[in-house]
């Protein structure tokens, strides 16, 4: 089976230089078990553990405007669990735990790097965040897609990204308008 990694890209390999493997060694994907449709439908939620629950709740709800789905206090864990929804339907679970250890964001290390939010208008989004007292990095352009992006941090220093997604005109609607 030939891997399709795009033109000019080398095949994906593990740290040992071989194809991705299990504990028992390399395991090629079997055509018999390969899903006929995409295995993953999207991201359902991202879980974030915060240091100061009231501060982080205010940031994600009042500043970023996420919708509260449910808020529960779990007495046995002395922990809050706040379920938040983005307009896309994706969710963020915001947890509090007593004295959680800090997770360094710099220097960059293995693991989750950042969480990116799609926006329609970068200029308006940045202006709004700055009006709320949120420090935002200068806007840059993705060298591969040509889309604009920038970074800011949540109250615990978790890197968050705004990524401008330009809406492509609907071809069917464009064709209809041209025929009218």
Model confidence pLDDT, tens digit, residues 8-24: 555 555 555 555 555 66
Query: What predicted TM-score, i.e. pTM, was given to this entire model?
Result: 0.73
Class of domain 112-180: alpha beta
Sequence-ordered strand ranges (E) for the chain: 21-22, 25-26, 45-50, 67-74, 79-85, 91-96, 115-119, 140-141, 148-153, 159-164
State the chain's mean pLDDT as an integer.
83
CATH 2.40.50.140 fits 43-103, yes or no: no
Q: Could you report the per-residue pLDDT of 74-104, keeping only the tens digit for each?
A: 999 999 999 999 999 999 999 999 999 888 8
For the chain, the residue count is 180
Q: Give me the pLDDT at residue 172, please.
A: 45
Tell me where in the chain the CATH 3.10.180.10 domain(s) lie: 43-103, 112-180
Distances (CA, A) of 9 to 13, 47, 136: 12, 32, 34
pLDDT confidence tier of residue 108, bands split at 50, 70 and 90: confident
For residue 124, the surrounding DSSP H or E stretch is helix 122-131
Q: What are phi and psi of 18, to 5 degrees?
A: -100, 175
Give the other-Cβ count within 10 Å of 9's Cβ: 9
Which two three-digit tokens encode residue 163?
Answer: 């990524």
Separation of alpha carbons 21 and 14, rounded Å: 7
């Amino acid at each position: 089976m030939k891997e399709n990694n795009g033109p000019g890209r080398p095949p994906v390999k593990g740290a040992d230089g071989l194809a991705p493997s299990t504990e028992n060694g390399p395991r090629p994907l079997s055509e018999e078990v390969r899903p006929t449709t995409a295995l993953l439908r999207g991201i359902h939620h991202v879980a974030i553990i915060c240091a100061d629950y009231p501060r982080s709740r205010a940031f994600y709800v009042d500043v970023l405007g996420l919708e509260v789905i449910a808020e529960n206090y779990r007495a046995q864990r002395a922990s809050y669990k706040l379920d938040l929804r983005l307009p896309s339907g994706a969710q963020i679970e915001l947890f509090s735990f007593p004295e959680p250890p800090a997770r360094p964001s710099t220097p960059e290390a293995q693991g989750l790097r950042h969480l990116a939010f799609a926006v329609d208008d970068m200029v308006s989004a940045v202006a709004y965040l700055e009006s709320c007292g949120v420090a935002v990095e200068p806007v840059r352009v993705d060298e591969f897609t040509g889309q604009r992006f920038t970074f800011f941090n949540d109250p615990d220093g978790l890197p968050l990204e705004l990524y401008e997604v330009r809406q492509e005109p609907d071809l069917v609607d464009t064709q209809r308008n041209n025929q009218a």
